[in-house]
Structure 1
Amino acid sequence: MQLVRKWNIYSLHFFQIVSSFKTTTSRAICQLVKEYVGHRDGLWDVSVTRTQPVVMGTASADHTALLWSIETGKCLIKYVGHAGSVNSIKFHPTEQIALTASGDQTAHIWRYTVQLPTPQPTADTSISGEEEVDFSDKDEAEVDGDVSSDCPTVRIPLSSLKSHQGVVIAADWLVGGKQAVTASWDRTANLYDVETSELVHSLTGHDQELTHCCTHPTQRLVVTSSRDTTFRLWDFRDPSIHSVNVFQGHTDTVTSAVFTVGDNVVSGSDDRTVKVWDLKNMRSPIATIRTDSAVNRISVSVGQKIIALPHDNRQVRLFDMSGVRLARLPRSNRQGHRRMVCCSAWSEDHPTCNLFTCGFDRQAIGWNINIPALLQEK
């Protein structure tokens, strides 16, 4: 009888887990296009330029940031100006300038100039987004090659932002690119004037270390995330004042919160949930996505508003804004991440790669995600 009771409890628990994933009969088609290998330690962040030429950037615990040709996988620029782990990379909205955040307690602004090599044909490795086969680790030798050894190197930043007293975990440009915001383990976020490197505002109020910061694409809004289980919305639209709102929608560390082009904020957490919020009414989320693993730095595609969730358990899942799961990116003994996936970044302007992921297997991966028309019309 006791065995039956335990089995019933197990069955109920399993049903609750399975039923928490909303599913659809349609599947996104997920194609692995390119692997970008060259860092000597885990990758914390991945980003894509918003200007031509379109290149991808990675930030690594190996103290470097690399810029890559998306088509060829070749390293284009190596930035070595930091004395600690590079935790974040973001590109200026209009110029060939990058912003990196580091464990050396600084953020750097540095200029790059790239010339793209001729692209080579790419093999078709299309796999349905829900397919997964037995996973086995890649040979360590596959990720030990240093493709950045002969890469042009940038050593000196244009400017260094130095007001933090702890690790700078993330940074981003405000709309227009004249100001930048940083988030630190010293529990503050700082707003800087880019031209002078002067501190404009120190944003205080979080009770524990910050984990992320993000700016709105068209408005002077900033959202900061923290280990204190909250995220905060900072409003700089009125130059004479700035206001802040605190949101307590999670039960564990908020690992990231990001804006969409519209009026939404999407937050992800170590509590294994992602929540979608309406900026016009932030009292409660309009959708909650429950997963089976901690969620790291998420991103939302501009056009289709698809949320990409990188997980501690090496999975990457795609959801729509109503919480319906569209796909799980394929993992096999030949492709996919083999360690924790730290970050995802959509690219709207590239014809073949529209999603990038990176993680502690020391590589970034470029994907082509094709959402069926039936799902887009929902």
Structure 2
Amino acid sequence: MDSTTEGEHIEKLEKEAESLKIRLEDERKKLNDVTLCEVADRLQAINCINVKPRRVLKGHQAKVLCSDWSPDKRHIVSSSQDGKMIIWDAFTTNKEHAVTMPTTWVMACAYAPTGALVACGGLDNKVTVYPLSLEDDVTTRKKTVGTHTSYMSCCAFPNSDQQILTGSGDSTCALWDVESGQLLQNFHGHSGDVMSIDLAPSETGNTFVSGSCDKMILIWDMRSGQCVQSFEGHDSDVNSVSN
């Protein structure tokens, strides 16, 4: 098969795939007995909720890209495009720690379940863990746990301080051992940048969900490294997922 014939064959297959997608969408619509707008019209109007800010935390010099609450429900960690990670006391609005990273765009941060550690990463491709102590400079005890081949976009601790889960622009998610830095599991399945991950709310904590620039949402088993469910329906990047 010469290049011209091969190109025509590929173009034909692409048209067939697009036609099948349209037919599939039409069949799905036939199963819908009512539209969302029709359902909404039947509901009573909900009174406006008056939401007021309780505290304003000021200190970053650029966009805040990520934040996470501590398990003690008092402290917050935030990361920013200014290259800083800040630990806040949400009651007093004081900064308890301010860490300057070796790169700008600190895209991800997370508290460990005990509140004794925080993790962060970004354009440096690394996930770095910081033990927290009011007496010590946290930067002196930092540890680089793992490294991706592209930027780190998100991170989360499973149900212990011993492991951390990361998502990256290299299209993978990874599970790392915090103490040794060993890669415990790699999760391959996305064809675009992984933008968000979230752990399933269970005692075992063996399942998580990921969203990607490939428009897909995947659910993973951390023990096997396998994708156990996938969802397709967005027309563009999936920037955030939550359980």
Structure 2 match to 1:134: 21
Work out whether 1:269 is the aligned partner of 2:168.
yes
Find 2:121's aligned residue among 219, 225, 237: 225
Work out whether 1:239 is the aligned partner of 2:134.
yes
Find 1:258's aligned residue among 151, 156, 173: 156
**TM-score, structure 1 normalization:** 0.50
Could you tell me how far apart the structure 2 residues matched to 1:163 and 1:300 are? Answer: 29
Could you tell me how far apart the structure 1 residues matched to 2:63 and 2:53 are? Answer: 18
Work out whether 1:307 is the aligned partner of 2:208.
yes
Find 2:87's aligned residue among 168, 191, 196: 191
Structure 2 match to 1:151: 48
Query: How far does the alpha carbon of each residue in 1:235-268 deviate from its partner, in whole angstroms, 9 at most, with x for none?
Result: 11x4322221124521111000110003211111
Q: Is the 8 A contact 1:168 1:182 kept in 2?
A: yes
Gap change, CA 1:248 and 1:206, over 3 Å in 2 = farther
What letter is aligned with 1:229? N
Could you tell me how far apart the structure 1 residues matched to 2:36 and 2:65 are? Answer: 29
Gap change, CA 1:320 and 1:228, over 3 Å in 2 = same
Q: Percent identity, please.
A: 21
What letter is aligned with 1:223? A
Work out whether 1:338 is the aligned partner of 2:232.
no
Find 2:197's aligned residue among 287, 298, 307: 298
SS at match of 2:124: coil
Gaps of 5+ in 1: 7-132, 347-378
Could you tell me how far apart the structure 2 residues matched to 1:187 and 1:142 are? Answer: 42
Work out whether 1:327 is the aligned partner of 2:243.
no
Pairs aligned (count): 207
What letter is aligned with 1:220? A
**Which residues of 2 match residues 278-297 of structure 1 at below 5 A?**
278-282=177-181, 284-291=182-189, 292-297=191-196
What letter is aligned with 1:246? T
Bigger fraction of residues in helix: 2
Structure 2 match to 1:316: 217
**Which residues of 2 match residues 35-50 of structure 1 at below 5 A?**
none
Could you tell me how far apart the structure 2 residues matched to 1:212 and 1:244 are? Answer: 16
What letter is aligned with 1:300? L
Could you tell me how far apart the structure 1 residues matched to 2:236 and 2:154 are? Answer: 19
Could you tell me how far apart the structure 1 residues matched to 2:175 and 2:64 are? Answer: 26
Q: Which runs of 4+ in 1 moved over 6 A?
A: none
CA RMSD for the aligned pairs? 2.9
**TM-score, structure 2 normalization:** 0.75
Q: Is the 8 A contact 1:188 1:206 kept in 2?
A: no
Work out whether 1:180 is the aligned partner of 2:76.
yes
Could you tell me how far apart the structure 2 residues matched to 1:203 and 1:228 are? Answer: 15
Could you tell me how far apart the structure 2 residues matched to 1:226 and 1:294 are? Answer: 13
Q: How far is 1:294 from its partner?
A: 1.1
Q: Is the 8 A contact 2:145 2:176 kept in 1?
A: no
Q: Is the 8 A contact 2:198 2:242 kept in 1?
A: yes
Could you tell me how far apart the structure 2 residues matched to 1:248 and 1:281 are? Answer: 10
Q: Is the 8 A contact 1:175 1:220 kept in 2?
A: no
Could you tell me how far apart the structure 2 residues matched to 1:308 and 1:173 are? Answer: 20
SS at match of 2:110: strand
Q: How far is 1:224 from its partner?
A: 1.0
Could you tell me how far apart the structure 1 residues matched to 2:95 and 2:63 are? Answer: 17
What letter is aligned with 1:267? T
Could you tell me how far apart the structure 2 residues matched to 1:278 and 1:184 are? Answer: 25
Structure 2 match to 1:123: none
Q: Is the 8 A contact 1:174 1:220 kept in 2?
A: no
Gaps of 5+ in 2: 7-19, 27-34
Q: How far is 1:175 from its partner?
A: 2.1
**Which residues of 2 match residues 7-18 of structure 1 at below 5 A?**
none
**Larger radius of gyration between Structure 1 and Structure 2:** 2
Could you tell me how far apart the structure 2 residues matched to 1:285 and 1:248 are? Answer: 7
Could you tell me how far apart the structure 1 residues matched to 2:199 and 2:129 are? Answer: 18
What letter is aligned with 1:257? C
Q: How far is 1:337 from its partner?
A: 3.0
Structure 2 match to 1:31: none
